[in-house]
Structure 1
């Protein structure tokens, strides 16, 4: 016999998740998500080479640059198909050419750091648009310079976090591979392997999105406010990666697009991921509004419009 108290609690939990979820869907469809996602996709394509070069350089100090690059693009090929992964590989290889001249190396380091942080600056602008906040225009050039340096510093720390996450994922993948190889002989070993890999993917994406949702918006937030949106976005991204990876892997042999086709696939994938990330942020905003009743901007930020009118 069912426990009525347990059923009531379960229904209350579902309602707490469903209402922000439904509000996030309405806001995502009615708002400017298409424009924001397209803008993020554009800047991501421009910044993806320096971002990956820097991440590979950080992790490559331990595993070696070649091994890190091969592992990264093997994972990308599984997630988004060989065409898009090949396009990224060509972009990164072109970015690391001519490393024998010191002045090119120095210039390349500057461009890499600037370009890799630029994407996170654009992500911050998009998240501020979702939350309905913006930096205040008061304070003069000193305040403006402080905000700019703070934004770039936060972006650089997130770039380092990407490298650390890549490092952790490679270590975890090595451990998981050993464990799963031993588990193949156990009952339901293949099914258990898939569950472990999917769970690891969701965990990795959640850990990457947590600081993005917590740090980048100019809103007073806590990690307990943002983990649900990060988890939701991670689950949707993992499902989308499986669906798109399966489709593009099977369609790669029949597609004659070559490098151009790979770039188009890459743009499509980044656009979809941008939509998911923005949806997770919008869900987080609706959750905070439902639990706290108001959004509190940071001291040097302000609300753009009343919450009732925010889409």
Structure 2
């Protein structure tokens, strides 16, 4: 009985926090910045993941991953972007300038993400100044690199699963079902871990790994559900016929928006858990990750 009361009060607190914050607007802004920065994000992800995996394999794995998450149309858009931005014929100066612009563009997404997290966790009471802006940029860049390494780790684990699959007879009819189930479990676990890391390091308040568990798990489950619902919508929807050539971009924008909503729900859940676990949430002038930077 007490457990049910606890779940009920926790759910009410989460819903109250959701209505107190402009979550749809925050998610829309994050989705917009994600689409604008898609090309630099992909290149930095590919470059970082390339430290652990061969470049050609990274590009193929990225395309496959987005096909799994968003669908074939959006995956084709990702593939075209990766092909168009990798051009070895550029000179040194344009390459350096392009790289700097890429860093700024890609980090903008994570600055917006960090700002949204801080707005929710502190009820809008955020600090200002050049030092805070610099710290936000550096933190977002490190988060970006971490995301690339996270993707590389996912690719490696998927490769190990594929190797294990080849060791067993292909004639077993149940093998394909087991394989797909393992891929889904791996995806769920990796997304939950990534959400947990973001919830641990991005907020400007102290959050323990244990306090991120519920929000990260809820976010990963809803992320997986959203992928399934988006797939059904694309199967029966009219996105391609309504928007024509821009259909793949619209699909990606829908996925980015729904994913942002899910993540901010995870942030709100974590805030409720933190508030329930401590009588006073200790405010810091910077995020936990930022303490190692400045």
Shorter-chain TM-score tier: 0.7 to 0.9
Separation (CA, whole Å) in 1 of partners of 2:8 and 2:71: 33
Bigger shift: residues 191-200 or 178-187: 178-187
* Residue segments in structure 2 that go unaligned for 5+ positions in a row: 288-294
Tell me the residue number matched to 1:5: none
Separation (CA, whole Å) in 1 of partners of 2:170 and 2:16: 44
* Residue segments in structure 1 that go unaligned for 5+ positions in a row: 1-10, 138-143, 302-311
Bigger shift: residues 79-88 or 154-163: 79-88
Contact 2:23 2:264 in 1 (8 A): yes
Bigger shift: residues 270-279 or 49-58: 49-58
Q: Does 1:214 align with 2:214?
A: no
Tell me the residue number matched to 1:232: 218
Separation (CA, whole Å) in 2 of partners of 1:170 and 1:91: 20
Q: Does 1:155 align with 2:140?
A: yes
Pick from 118, 123, 127 the counterpart of residue 136 of structure 1. 127
Tell me the residue number matched to 1:124: 114
Q: Does 1:70 align with 2:80?
A: no
Contact 1:77 1:84 in 2 (8 A): yes
Separation (CA, whole Å) in 1 of partners of 2:135 and 2:63: 32
Q: Report the CA distance between 1:124 and its aligned residue.
A: 0.9
Contact 1:81 1:249 in 2 (8 A): no
Q: Which gives a bigger RCO, structure 1 or 2 (Cα 8 Å, sep 6+)? A: 1
The structure with more radius of gyration? 1
Tell me the residue number matched to 1:199: 185
Contact 2:239 2:247 in 1 (8 A): no
- Per-residue CA deviations over 1:240-295 (Å, capped at 9, x if unaligned) read 11231344256689747443011111111111001000001011111112222332
Provide closer, same or farther for how the CA distance between residues 14 and 153 of structure 1 changes in structure 2, counting only shifts above 3 A. farther
Q: Does 1:264 align with 2:250?
A: yes
Corresponding residue SS for 2:37: helix
Separation (CA, whole Å) in 2 of partners of 1:52 and 1:294: 40
Contact 2:43 2:82 in 1 (8 A): yes
Provide closer, same or farther for how the CA distance between residues 251 and 176 of structure 1 changes in structure 2, counting only shifts above 3 A. farther
Superposition TM-score, scaled by structure 2 size: 0.86
Tell me the residue number matched to 2:104: 114
Q: Does 1:95 align with 2:85?
A: yes
- Per-residue CA deviations over 1:187-218 (Å, capped at 9, x if unaligned) read 84343323211110111111211221111121
Superposition TM-score, scaled by structure 1 size: 0.82
